[in-house]
């Protein structure tokens, strides 16, 4: 069975890709669905605050980058469906993907699993590391859950525990969360 990994094209996503070299039957595709217009909408809807956005940008800037081999990129569900059908994909994993998976993809019947780097349903959605720190919910877990029509609400299939540290920077805590997600995905792919 061929597996597709849709991963956000940022430094954390490239760190994951660098650690996945040598996995058989794994097709890696970069998610290019996030753009300034989408970020502006998230700010307008107050899904994220300007302060949190600045923390995220600063963390990304300070994080080391990884060189990865060229990967195909997509920006919408139509292209995702095209790859699924052409490559006969049997399972899709999402990691830091901003693409909201459409009902058309879900109805194909293939397994679509999201790696979310906080406990769900309590910490679903965006800005979860900041929310967990604010709430004092330091004992967290990266979760792998089945994608459904509702964001971060599908059944949890596997977890990887980790601990946030309020004495550390936002970037260090975000790295702890996503490193747990990377470990979870590596374990699942092995």
139 or 68, higher pLDDT: 139
Whether residue 24 is predicted with pLDDT greater than 80 in this model: the reply is: no
CA gap 121, 117 in Å, rounded: 12
Domains of the chain: 2-189 (3.40.50.170)
CB–CB of 105/83 below 8 Å? no
3-state secondary structure of 46: coil
Q: Which pLDDT value is given to residue 150?
A: 80
DSSP string across 86-144:
HHTEEEEEEES--PPPPHHHHTT--EEEEEESS-TTTT-SS-HHHHHHHHT--EEEEEE
pLDDT in tens, 142-180: 999 999 888 788 899 999 999 999 999 999 999 999 999
pTM of the entire predicted model: 0.90
Q: Which pLDDT value is given to residue 53?
A: 84
CB–CB of 93/111 below 8 Å? no
3-state secondary structure of 19: helix
């Amino acid at each position: 069975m061929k597996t597709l990994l849709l991963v956000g094209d940022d430094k954390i996503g490239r760190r994951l890709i660098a650690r996945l070299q040598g996995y058989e039957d794994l097709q890696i595709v970069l998610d290019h669905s996030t753009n300034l217009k989408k970020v502006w909408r998230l700010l307008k809807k107050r899904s994220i605050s300007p302060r949190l956005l600045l923390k995220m940008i600063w963390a990304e800037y300070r994080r080391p980058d990884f060189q990865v081999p060229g990967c195909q990129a997509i920006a919408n569900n139509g292209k995702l469906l095209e790859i699924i059908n052409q490559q006969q994909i049997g399972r899709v994993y999402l990691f830091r993907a901003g693409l909201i998976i459409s009902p058309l993809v879900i109805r194909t019947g293939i397994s679509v699993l999201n790696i979310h780097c906080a406990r769900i349903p309590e910490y679903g959605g965006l800005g979860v590391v900041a929310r967990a720190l604010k709430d004092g919910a330091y004992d967290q877990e990266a979760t792998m859950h089945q994608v459904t029509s509702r964001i971060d609400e599908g059944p949890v299939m596997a977890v990887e525990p980790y601990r946030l540290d309020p004495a550390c920077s936002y970037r260090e805590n975000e790295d702890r969360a996503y490193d747990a997600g990377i470990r979870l995905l590596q374990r699942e792919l092995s």
